[in-house]
Amino acid sequence: MRETDPEMHTVYLSLGSNQGSRVRHLLGALDELHRMAVGPVVCSRVYETRPVGYLRQPDFLNMVVRMQVAMRPLPLLGALHAIEQRFGRVREIRFGPRTLDLDILLYDQEYICFRTLQIPHPRMWTRGFVLIPLADLAPGLRGPGGRTVREMADAMAKDGGVRDVGRIC
């Protein structure tokens, strides 16, 4: 599979951090994503969220970006993992604390299933920390059962645990 692709692909990525300077990690990741993007990187608002899964850790800052890339999914995933590593990401505890977490949520309108990558992201439809910022950028996008991202995000917002903290881009 080629790393670059002559075609442009619209991707939605989630960004999260709960270790060290969370804002600095997100801003640094955004700088890296701007270098990878073909055109603008459009950002959601930033939300502070409680951890999911492994609960004995600090709260996260989460956001979603939309951008265009000239990369296929697996090379894109490799590039995102390299960014995470540059920011000190260590993968020790599943759903554990991390300096930076970058996930591919959507890649065009494709359904992709590799051993190491599934798109749409398999857990995105049940995670308020993904759906609420995604609704900032794509409120009318339809998910499972035909519900819009905005409808799903609004339902999750009622449960609490996600607090709007503003914009960083």
Calculate the alpha carbon distances from 16 to 22, 25, 48, 110, 126 in Å: 8, 9, 9, 23, 16
Is pLDDT above 60 for 2? no
Q: pLDDT value at position 70?
A: 95
Is pLDDT above 90 for 89? no
Q: Per-residue pLDDT tens for 21-33?
A: 999 999 999 999 9
CATH number at residue 60: 3.30.70.560
Domain limits at 154?
A: 4-166
160 band by pLDDT with thresholds 50, 70 and 90: confident
Q: pLDDT value at position 161?
A: 81
Average pLDDT score over residue span 2-26: 88
97 band by pLDDT with thresholds 50, 70 and 90: confident
User: What are the residues whose beta carbons fall under 8 Å from the beta carbon of 166, sequence distance 6 or more?
Assistant: 45, 46
Q: pLDDT value at position 99?
A: 87
Task: Say how many domains are in the chain.
Answer: 1
Residues marked active site are found at 89, 98, 101, 103
Average pLDDT over all residues of the chain: 90
pLDDT over 90, % of the chain: 69
Is pLDDT above 50 for 4? yes
